[in-house]
Chain A
Amino acid sequence: MSAFGAAWRRFFGEERDALVLGLLRLALSALLFFNGLRLVLELMRDGYFADYFHVPLIPEQWLPDRSGYQLLLFVQALAALLAFVGIWPRESLLAASGLGLYFLLCDRLQYHNNRYALLLLGSLLAFTPCDRSFLLAYGRGHTLPLEQRIAPTYARRLFQIQVTLVYLGSTGGKLLDADWRSGQVLFHRFAEAPGIAASHGFPLPAWVLVILTSTWFASLAAKAAIASELFIALGIWFSRTRRLALWLGVIFHVSIELGANVELFSWLMVASYLAFVVPEVRERRFEFASGNPRAQGLARAVALLDWCARFERSSFSATGNERSWFYVTNRAGRRASGALGLAQLAEAIPLLFPLWLPLALYAQLTRERRARVPSSA
């Protein structure tokens, strides 16, 4: 067999642990439910979309009538709920996403990139083995044992490619637009910010106004935004840059969420990063001093927040020779406590992930400072 043939078979036959894909299913089905809920609210507030001006992307006769639309909205909401609780999760996910795509085709005015991206990613996730964990309807047995979770994950690669395409499409549009590259677009967005903040009762300080209304700041922000998106799109594919790219992506989307109305986009992209998590579980170790209240509190927090099952937890005797009350061993086998230990915790726990880089930098700084101070012993 040729090298290409072997690589082809390896790629499409790749089998990995599917636990994290179940978590991703929870996130996407919840977002699909909220996306459907928005359509229901719009129907209640504005009436049936085809009763007034709309621009279908499909022939008008393919549009549902009012009662058909109501029924399909109900089916979509039900499918998203079933996918969330884990009853026919993959089929339900595909049904909810497929119906959403159909609704987008019914009216071009409803088209938004974030909605389209959600529906595509939901459809792709349905082809992954995301039905082997976090099946909430099954109570305590919500996650299958390891040997049943190992399954073909070629569709995860397609999901990852789609995430990259979203960023590349966005970056490409900005790179081709001279006004975007120069900062002209952001300058006008920023210029509106003081008025918006004041209208919400938060007048901005004078120095912030000076920065926001300066062309150099807009130019710098535009270049930073383009470079960030490009780095996220490509950096997530390489193990050396992946963690930094994901961290930058989280910060990027949090800042967008704070400054612009992008519906579910920020939540979607941050959730989609779960597809880039190493599928194998319990490859790290968290050790804590038994009997130490702080250590036990941290252990409880780790147990609660370790959604991707990154850590094997164990305790050691507080009266032993250990100098710290907790240790974290990362995938590379580096055992650490203190700030570096916390950084190694944060890098693997979704809710703490934004703290990873500040903690790692702080640990690096304090280590260098300690190295410079000669020991008194």
Chain B
Amino acid sequence: MPRSLLNLSPRLRPLLFCAYLATQLGLLVRAQSSPDLVFGFQMFNASSQLKISLFRKLRRRGKVRVVPVHDGAWQAKDRAGAFHTHRWQDRVRYRNLATLEQFVHAAYGLDAQLFRLQFALNDFVSHLANDQETEALIAEVDTLKNGREAGHVRLEAARP
């Protein structure tokens, strides 16, 4: 008869059984309050779409200006005055968030993608060492929930 470390003794079997079930049920319940429904087994939950437009918040001569980012790329000076190109898609490769200025499917729903977009903005501004001009990155998001307009959302991430 094959021997395996995974042949549990009769005493351990109920432990594994109950611990597994409790964990799964706990994760399922917790998933309901998670924006991206992670561990919730909620497939095909929406036909929603979002369109992301990026803007940079700059401070020039003491004035704050918000300028649009075209195609996700811009040039900015570093401390030494040398220009560097920054590209949103170089860092954010996740397909739902990498596409700008056009409506794309919001996998797992709008809440999921907006939640992840905030993470993406935070991540991007924390990697702007060669950009001494950008103070914050702003995403203006148009949303469609299952075909209906679901409003406009503004997310912002300031440099740490």
Contact = CB atoms under 8 A, between A and B. Distances in A.
B1 to A, nearest CB: 5
Nearest to A120: B24
Contact of A109 (B2, B7, B90, B94): B94
Contacts of A188: 47, 146-147
B124 A165 contact: no
Nearest to B1: A148
Interface residues of B, number: 43
A184 B41 contact: no
B116 to A, nearest CB: 7
A55 interface: yes
A53 B124 contact: yes
Interface in B1-53: 1-2, 4-8, 10, 13-14, 16-17, 20-21, 24, 28, 31, 36-47
Interface residues of A, number: 55
B91 interface: yes
A170 B124 contact: no
A336 B5 CA distance: 46
B6 A127 contact: yes
B10 A52 contact: no
A52 B13 contact: no
B84 interface: no
B149 interface: no
Contacts of B83: none
A113 B43 contact: yes
Interface of A: 8, 12-13, 46, 52-53, 55, 57, 90-91, 94, 108-109, 111, 113-114, 116-117, 120, 124, 126-127, 129, 131-132, 144, 148, 151-152, 154-155, 157-158, 161-162, 165-166, 168-170, 172-174, 177, 179-180, 184-189, 260, 262, 265
Interface of A (DSSP majority class)? helix
Interface of B (DSSP majority class)? loop
A94 B17 contact: no
B91 A52 contact: yes
A124 B8 CA distance: 13
A152 B1 CA distance: 12
Interface string B62-96: 00000000000000000000000000001111100
Contacts of A91: 4-6
B46 A165 contact: no
A184 B40 contact: no
A166 B91 contact: no
Contacts of B97: 53
B21 A161 contact: yes
Given A117-B41, A152-B7, A179-B46, 12 more contacts: A13-B10, A52-B93, A53-B93, A127-B6, A157-B17, A158-B20, A170-B43, A173-B37, A186-B47, A188-B146, A189-B47, A260-B44
